[in-house]
Structure 1
Amino acid sequence: MHEEHSLFTRAAELAADYVAGLGDRPVAQPVDLEALRKAFGEELPRGSSPPDAVVEELARIAEKGLVATAGPRFFGLVIGGALRSAVAADFLAAGWDQNSFNPALSPAAAAAEDVAGGWLRDLLGIPATASTGFVTGGQAANTVGLAVARHQVLAAAGWDVERDGLAGAPALRVVASVERHATIDRSLRLLGVGTRAIEEVAAGPQGAIDVEDLARVLAAGEGPTIVCLQAGNVNTGACDDLRAACALAKSHGAWVHIDGAFGLWAAASPTTAALVDGLELADSWACDGHKWLNVPYDSGFAFCAHPALHAETIAYRAPYLAGSAELSGMGDLTLEASRRARVFAVWAALRELGRDGVADLVDRCCRLARLFAALLAEGGAEIANDVVLNQVLVGFGDDDRTEAIIDAVQRDGTCWLGGTTWRGRRYQRISVSNWSTTETDVERSAAAILRAAAEN
């Protein structure tokens, strides 16, 4: 047997053992971070080490610091698990070590991106003619979408931002909800637009944009305008009225970008699709794969209704780059030139689930979120939001008590959830996103939360 077979088989065994035990291990456990750092090493050794010994050492040291985010009872943030086929496909992708910048470097990745991109657009209700960039996540997807938006609205005003920069450019307006995700602001900072360009719109009781206030804000100004909408409020799961908001924005000549990191997946199920009705009217969309599609980190999608503009904004050319004479998608649509072939895991997940499987995954998580809310409400907790997707906000009276219960739950290890501030109050924030979560997992977790509440 070749050395590679032995080494890679052992690494796969270690990974498989970890995955197989996810349902039984504490989701998180107290860790002495300084001791963990020392275990990883202080000074870089002068001599080399056998690869098999390195892998064994890594697995042994890291074990104490691993959080079972891929397991069935991790409900903090919106973090999915990883479908088995997607994990195995990622193993293959690591072994193949493809740079998926263009078809010359990886014809297989190019073909997979074409097919998986089409599948994604079809599932999510995005126009078939749109472009799809396989990016690292929602932050990168929002940055790409807003970069193309910046390009187009300034070009329409007679300004070439790629050539001339922003100094002296017409002032940009970015109209966005007070409930927008923080990655929108970060993208604007990175793009040089700045957060001062944001004109805030009020949100309704559940966090969806107030369309009447959107009309007011749009009418109050003029100039190159980008409107940012949201599918899936990060706290409540609420979705903006995309059809009404898109129509209103378009009547003012604005570019519409939808941040749908997890909520865009509502389109994949007939049960929840009405929540994102009208999404096809937008110009660009951001979505994550490592959330509700349950593929390994890192994976996201930047869609654009104007493929030529998308590539014109993002692509670059150099005489030494083989196969770069013409636009080819892939690296032309993303911010990275050296691109891991994350598409193989996406293709595998979609191929494993199929259309019905994706819909069932969305429906099941929403159903389990409602079960969570019902069990906790029966136990005396306050549910602060309408549970329309996979998000549940849970309160236990005053902020200090809620924080104490969050801390106790995290230390207990049965499940893991975090806290958030919503309308001036602290809440537990539960996100149900994992394909492997069952009713039993929710019942165990709700019992652990109520037990912590009884003790605090």
Structure 2
Amino acid sequence: MDELALAADADRRAHTYLAGVGTRRVFPDAAALAQLAAFDETLPQHGHPPQDVLRLLDENGSPGTVASNGPRYYGFVIGAVLPAAAAAERLMGAWDQCASTFDNSPVAATIEKIATRWVLDALDLPRESAIGFGTSATACTLVCIAAARRALLDRQGWDFDNDGLFGAPTVRVVISETAHITVKKALRVLGFGMKHVILAPVDTHGRVDPAQLPPLDDMTILCLQAGEVNTGEFDPFAALIPQAKAARAWVHVDGAFGLWARASSKRALTDGIDGADSWTTDGHKWLNTPYDGAMAICRDAQAISAAMNSDAVYLNGAHDSQKNLNLEFSRRPRGIPIWAALRSLGRSGVKDMVDRHCAQASRIADGLRAAGFDVLNRVVLNQVLVRAATDEQTIAIRDAAQASGETWFGGTVWQGRPAFRISVSSWRTEDRHVDQLVALLTRLLAKQRG
């Protein structure tokens, strides 16, 4: 089988998979999981034909997938892939571009510059900002915090690039008590030491309390949230960021999914957020792009490009070349699926999708309250945080829903007790799907009670 025939076979198998994504089990059953044993073989001495490799991947791998690309998945704020973004990804694979600089890929450099402009426009963030299209919110947070630390030290006349942290002035970090684990991971990897990170107290909704904000100064990085992972709440930026700016602190906002509220009718939740210095957001969450596409956004383009610069004698690039805005030197053009999603949706399409998911989350909350569940959050966005009457019932209902194959959502802990979290973010999810979810959980609750 030649290369083109193999590509056609892969497309045929992908078409078959997509055709059934709305009806397949959301989480694979035991038989499908058992098929994964077919991959457990020793490294072959002699290679297999490419068509055999593809056949094994499809016939034994496809049944073992989680249908997060379908309409009934509500876990971890994972959006299904928009058709335009998926198609762009397919063409990108054929292009096989190293998207580090214009010299390596003129088309990638051109489109990612346009994607930068469009993202800043859609989110109404400072237009002078630079965007590094990275692998994940974790990696992009690391980039932004590294740029922040370097910039604060530079203000003190410290040459971070040559002297590192040996004897350097101390940079303090303040994060929310409910900060996402990826923020903590980035800080840990960067060597801040978690026992030295200062926690800002939060209110009952998980938002940083401005009245209890720890002292800030011009050597402080303050990390805030747009979309707390359990409640979906937003820190009160309009009250917090002016305090930070008065102290000349650097403000970073973790907006992995919540930042897209700014492009919707929920924009008021983000009031004041444009006063920050850096932001991170994912594409695969609310923009419904493929995985491995996130954004490190920095108001001071020079700060991020200086921190991430990787010019070499054999490959120099402009300050806004993606290799100078990211951790990666060799990279795929992650901004292209983001461009494709925005071009296919337009400003109104982004707004409509986010608005619809927020309305569906409220619809789920209303239905579950009526059924006798305790909805723990105000449902200001697309997150529904739920408990049954007892911890045992909560866990049993979550486990039964996951095992049913009809849906999937994850468990969590809120204020010391088990709960489960329903996230609505797939473009495929219709009102009938959320009504089916409510009906399923209502039956499971009745079974627990009876």
TM-score normalised over the length of structure 2: 0.97
Which of 242, 258, 261 lines up with 1:263 in the alignment?
A: 258
Match of 1:237?
232
**Aligned Cα root-mean-square deviation (Å):** 1.5
Give the corresponding residue for 2:361. 369
What's the secondary structure of 1:155's corresponding residue? helix
Q: Does 1:3 align with 2:2?
A: yes
Is 1:381 paired with 2:373? yes
Distance 1:362 1:325, change over 3 A: closer
Q: Please tell me whether residue 420 in structure 1 is matched to residue 412 in structure 2.
A: yes
CA distance in 1, matches of 2:244, 2:195: 20
- Which region of structure 1 is more displaced relative to structure 2, 428-437 or 171-180? 171-180
Shift of 1:37: 4.7
Is the 1:173–1:224 contact (alpha carbons within 8 Å) kept by the matching residues of 2? yes
Residue 6 of structure 1 deviates from its aligned partner by 1.4
Match of 2:289 in 1: 295
Matches of 1:413 and 1:38 in 2, distance apart?
Answer: 21
The percentage of counterpart residues that share the same residue type is 43
Residue 431 (structure 1) aligned to one of 418, 423, 429: 423
2:180 maps to 1:185:
no
Contact 1:83-1:295 at 8 Å conserved across structures: yes
Task: Give, in angstroms, the shift of residue 281 of structure 1.
Answer: 0.5
1:319-358 Cα shifts (integer Å, max 9, x gaps)? 122xx15424211101011111222211111110000000
- 1:140 matched to 2:134? The reply is no
Aligned amino acid, residue 244 of structure 1: A
Does residue 1:305 correspond to 2:304, yes or no?
no
Deviates more, 1:393-402 or 1:380-389: 393-402
8 A Cα contact 2:112 2:333, kept in partner: no
Indicate whether 1:274 and 2:268 are aligned. yes
AA of the residue aligned to 1:232:
G
Task: Name the amino acid aligned to 2:319.
Answer: L
Gaps of 5+ in 1: none
| 1:225 matches 2:224 | no
1:251 corresponds to: 246
8 Å Cα contact 1:218/1:249 also seen in 2: no
Distance, in Å, in 2 between the alignment partners of 1:440 and 1:33 is 27
CA contact (8 A) 1:171 1:223 kept: no
Displacement of 1:31 in angstroms is 3.6
Residue 28 of structure 1 contacts residue 66 of structure 1 at CA under 8 Å; is this kept in 2?
A: yes
The SS at the match of 2:215 is: helix
Q: Is the 8 A contact 1:125 1:279 kept in 2?
A: no
Question: For residues 455 and 286 of structure 1, do their structure 2 counterparts lie closer, same or farther at Cα, with a shift above 3 Å needed?
Answer: same
Q: What is the TM-score normalised by the length of structure 1? A: 0.95
Task: List aligned pairs for 1:306-455, cutoff 5 A.
Answer: 306-321=300-315, 324=316, 326-455=318-447
In 2, Cα distance between the equivalents of 1:29 and 1:11?
22
Aligned residue identity for 2:6: L
Alignment match, 1:131? 130
- Distance in 2 (CA, whole Å) between partners of 1:179 and 1:287 is 17
Query: In structure 1, what residue type is equivalent to 2:432?
Result: T
Counterpart CA distance in 2 for 1:403 and 1:25 is 24
One-letter identity of the residue aligned with 2:340 = A
Give the partner amino acid of 1:424. G
Q: Name the SS for the 1:218 alignment partner.
A: coil
Report deviation, 1:167: 2.5
Residue 223 of structure 1, CA deviation: 6.0
User: Alpha-carbon deviation of 1:34?
Assistant: 8.0
383-392 vs 26-35, which deviates more? 26-35
Contact 1:173 1:223 in 2 (8 A): no
Code of the residue aligned with 1:13 in structure 2: it is: R
Aligned residues: 448
- TM superposition shift of 1:33: 8.9
Q: Contact 2:402 / 2:408 at 8 angstroms: preserved in 1?
A: yes
Q: Distance in 1 between matches of 2:317 and 2:103?
A: 11
**Pairing 1:70-109 to 2, within 5 Å after superposition:** 70-109=69-108
Contact 1:170–1:223 (Cα < 8 Å) also in 2:
no
1:30-70 deviations in Å (ceiling 9; x for gaps) = 34798445301321121222212211121011023110011
Residues 80, 291 of structure 1: 8 Å contact kept? yes
Instruction: Measure the CA separation in 2 of the matches of 1:42 and 1:10.
Output: 24
1:166, 1:192 within 8 Å by CA — same for their partners in 2? no
Tell me, in whole angstroms, the C-alpha distance in 2 between the residues paired with 1:440 and 1:278.
Answer: 36
Q: Structure 1 residues 172, 231: closer, same or farther in 2, change over 3 A? A: same
Aligned partners of 1:31 and 1:64 also within 8 Å: no
